[in-house]
Amino acid sequence: MRFYFLLFVCLLLVTAGFAQSASATKPAVGFSIDNIDKAADPCVDFYQYACGNWLKQTEIPADQTEWVSFVELYERNLVTERDILEKASANDPSRSAIDQKIGDYYNSCMDEKAADAKGVSPLKPDLDRIAAAPDKPALIDAIARVHLIGPNPLFNFYSSSDLHNAEQVIAYIDQGGLSLPDRDYYIKDDAKMTEMRKHLVDYATEMFTLAGKSPQQAADSAQTVLRIETALAKASMDRTLRRDPKNRDHKMSKDQAVSLASNFYFNRYFAAAGAPAFSELNVSNPDFFKQVNGVVESESLDALKTYVSWHLLNNAAPWLSKPFVDANFKMQKHLTGQDEIQARWKRCVDSTDGALGEALGQKYVELTFGADGKQRMLKMVDALEISLNQDIHSLPWMSEDTKKQAKLKLDAIRNKIGYPDVWRDYSSLKIERGDLLGNYLRANEFESRRQIAKIGKPLDRKEWGMTPPTVNAYYSGSRNEIVFPAGILQPPFFDKKMDDAVNFGGIGAVIGHELTHGFDDQGRKFDPQGNLRDWWTEQDAKEFETRASCVADEYGNFIAVDDLKLNGKLTLGENTADNGGARIALMALREMMSHDRSSEKASQKIDGYTPEQRFFLGYGRVWCEKRRPEFSRMLVSVDPHSPGHYRVNGVVQNMPEFQQAWGCKAGQPMVRANACRVW
């Protein structure tokens, strides 16, 4: 079970587990004019101009799927976290309770020898529990247990705010149960997707063999997995449709939900999962549960057991013995192109962050994040909010009524910076030295139970959806808040040593991006309190749609890899946020420069570039990016963000401010004839 914030949109795809350290010849982590390719023309290809030298000097490390500023920072954070964890690992009886948990978790994870010696045995009790189910109703108890300790066969069960009463947390059931990254992988017939299905079958065959089945049984089991997952994929809503919260808004009585899948006995499931009593829930995709019903009816008990065991094996594989780890990585390699597995210590730091993120995070912020950092960020957030407010007021296409409502929403956005005010209490989570898989499963169960226990309770607005070392940021529509973990408040996003222009192009545009999410194609459907409520006049909504479809068309024509185009509708929210974010960040910079007493100094060139040019160079630097083609291909299906190249060029070609700053002329590629502008 994973942590769900409904409408949680971030700055980049969370690709935990893909990273590697920079070699000494790598370009500087922060902003540097050395990254610029002066032979390129900024008006022809600004991305090439801002990143050309960086691209020339950068190679994707073997254990990476991509190399980009986020990953560079993530790598640096890993080293900091490792130091914390190694110190906490010392088996010292006087350790603090937090050090015992994070230290013993990490120490157990690092004990590769012990994991290898145990083979599949740590998972045996749970595999046996599935195998022992005498009939389908009894298997439901086993499925509930599997959902608690990690993966989500058949569907997802979680808690989140009620779409129409954001203060109240309710139960959700939603589509799920796939092992490949998206429904497209099961449904599309092109060569690449067909190949991935074959890899899945090979991988599952290998895993079942390792778990003790005969080669023939293992091969048959793998076909069972593919058959059931394909049935579920066919009933899954695609990612573009899921972007519209109205398509996921199906609150009903528990009895109604139960009757959608009468073969599944949902009441038995909810009891086995330890859910508190409730009478209503949201069924995000009711048609999907009709399919679950069909699968449970048509598949044999044995086939269902095979499918559920598969999810458990696949989920636990990275924490079992080497043959399981290798088989699991081989599949990863097919999907992403990553050449080598990450060093074990990196995987273990990641896993500790996933299991005990707010315990490890406490130590991380003590070391890295000071009060001054928080103050400077708050000042920038204020400046960006003022700019967005002015921007909304100046929109020629929006009526006064809708502007008033938009301002109410903007004023209500909450800011979270650095780390949570209240840290999560892990005292009831047992972490035992030497019990790698047990710790992992118990941590999953702790988190699942914490989520389920929220059903029927008021929303806890103090909660965070990312851990402090995370190099990312997010906006949550149902909470109407923007969140910036300490991990992102570093160069090249935010550099104390750099001029304001570069910082406004970096973290300023990030803040603007998150604020704009409150007003993108998804965010605009939520009111200041986070309720799904239409506050737009009909005419203004139409005007919005027209402008948004300009952005969808623009990005839908960009080539991501080979001949594969971006999905303009899937990436619409992120592209809207990128465009709005850059615009209001530049407005905020101009505003600040105009108030600067020594405005002469503020407008001085540095390294031969004006502040506005440095703003765009700072913006470009954040998105300098190299990606493996396999990974690019996967992201076209699953990632709502555009590749770095277009996060830069797609934005600047819509901005007259850019063209002015660089002296670009009509007809040049970075001057779009029909420039798009939403915000």
Q: Using CB under 5 A, which residues numbered 616 to 635 contact Zn ion?
A: none
Residue 579 CB, nearest approach to Zn ion (Å): 12
**What number of residues does the chain have?**
679
Closer of 70 and 319 to Zn ion (Cβ): 70
Among 6, 9, 88, 341, binds Zn ion (CB under 5 A): 9
Pairing of strands 66-68, 481-485: unpaired
Residue 474 CB, nearest approach to Zn ion (Å): 7
Is 206 a known active-site residue? no
Distance CA 235, CA 174 (A): 11
Q: Is 507 in the site for Zn ion (CB under 5 A)?
A: no
Closer of 141 and 574 to Zn ion (Cβ): 574
Closer of 351 and 571 to Zn ion (Cβ): 571
CA atoms within 13 A on the CB side of 345: 15
Cβ proximity of 386 and 502 under 8 Å = no
Q: What is the DSSP string of 217-255?
A: HHHHHHHHHHHHHHHHHHTSPPHHHHTSGGGG--EEEHH
Distance CA 570, CA 378 (A): 31
Among 127, 135, 114, 179, smallest CA distance to 153 is for: 179
Residue 272 CB, nearest approach to Zn ion (Å): 37
Q: Phi and psi dihedrals of 387, rounded to 5? A: -65, -45
- One-letter amino acid at 269 equals Y
Distance CA 349, CA 318 (A): 13
Single out the segment in contact with Zn ion by CB under 5 A; choices: 156-164, 328-336, 530-538, 571-579: 571-579
Distance CA 124, CA 120 (A): 7
Query: In 10 A of CB 394, how many CB atoms?
Result: 10
Closer of 509 and 577 to Zn ion (Cβ): 577
CA distances from 598 to 379, 380, 588, 593, 595 (A): 19, 19, 17, 9, 9
Cβ proximity of 412 and 526 under 8 Å = no
Burial class (CB in 10 A: 0-12, 13-18, 19+), 111: middle
Residue 577 CB, nearest approach to Zn ion (Å): 5
Distance CA 481, CA 496 (A): 25
Residue 576 CB, nearest approach to Zn ion (Å): 9
User: What is the contact mask toward Zn ion in residues 523 to 562, using x (rule: CB under 5 A)?
Assistant: ----------------------------------------
Residue 475 CB, nearest approach to Zn ion (Å): 7
| Helix, strand, or coil (residue 345) | helix
Closer of 574 and 625 to Zn ion (Cβ): 574
Is 514 a known active-site residue? yes
CA-based max dimension of the chain: 81
Residue 514 CB, nearest approach to Zn ion (Å): 7
Cα torsion angle, 104, 110, 111, 116, sign? positive
Closer of 240 and 263 to Zn ion (Cβ): 240
Distance CA 353, CA 306 (A): 31
Single out the segment in contact with Zn ion by CB under 5 A; choices: 189-197, 500-508, 556-564, 567-575: 567-575
Task: Count interface residues toward Zn ion (CB under 5 A).
Answer: 3
User: What is the contact mask toward Zn ion in residues 122 to 141, using x (rule: CB under 5 A)?
Assistant: --------------------
Closer of 78 and 471 to Zn ion (Cβ): 471
Single out the segment in contact with Zn ion by CB under 5 A; choices: 87-95, 381-389, 421-429, 568-576: 568-576
Annotated catalytic residue within 126, 514, 520, 630: 514
Closer of 273 and 551 to Zn ion (Cβ): 551
Single out the segment in contact with Zn ion by CB under 5 A; choices: 246-254, 577-585, 612-620, 647-655: 577-585
The H or E element that residue 204 is part of is helix 191-210
How far is residue 654 CA from its own chain's centroid? 27
CA atoms within 13 A on the CB side of 57: 17
Closer of 9 and 313 to Zn ion (Cβ): 9
Cβ proximity of 658 and 664 under 8 Å = yes
Distance CA 3, CA 365 (A): 22
Residue 610 CB, nearest approach to Zn ion (Å): 28
Distance CA 577, CA 50 (A): 21
DSSP assignment letter at 163: T
Closer of 499 and 574 to Zn ion (Cβ): 574
Closer of 451 and 472 to Zn ion (Cβ): 472
Residue 348 CB, nearest approach to Zn ion (Å): 29
Residue 10 CB, nearest approach to Zn ion (Å): 5
Residue 472 CB, nearest approach to Zn ion (Å): 9
Residue 580 CB, nearest approach to Zn ion (Å): 11
Single out the segment in contact with Zn ion by CB under 5 A; choices: 320-328, 423-431, 570-578, 585-593: 570-578
Distance CA 123, CA 320 (A): 8
Single out the segment in contact with Zn ion by CB under 5 A; choices: 24-32, 275-283, 489-497, 573-581: 573-581
Secondary structure of 504-563 in the HEC alphabet? HHHHHHHHHHHHHHCCCCCHHHECCCCCECCCCCHHHHHHHHHHHHHHHHHHHCCEEECC
Cβ proximity of 460 and 174 under 8 Å = no
Q: What is the DSSP string of 592-648?
A: HHHH-TTHHHHT--BTTB-HHHHHHHHHHHHT-EEE-HHHHHHHHHH-SSPPHHHHH
Closer of 385 and 630 to Zn ion (Cβ): 385
Residue 513 CB, nearest approach to Zn ion (Å): 6
Contacts of residue 69, defined as CB under 8 A and 6 or more positions apart, other chains included, come to 29, 492, 493, 621, 622, 623, 624
Closer of 9 and 509 to Zn ion (Cβ): 9
Annotated catalytic residue within 75, 299, 495, 578: 578
The residues assigned a catalytic role are 514, 578
Residues at the site binding Zn ion, with contacts judged by CB under 5 A? 9, 574, 577
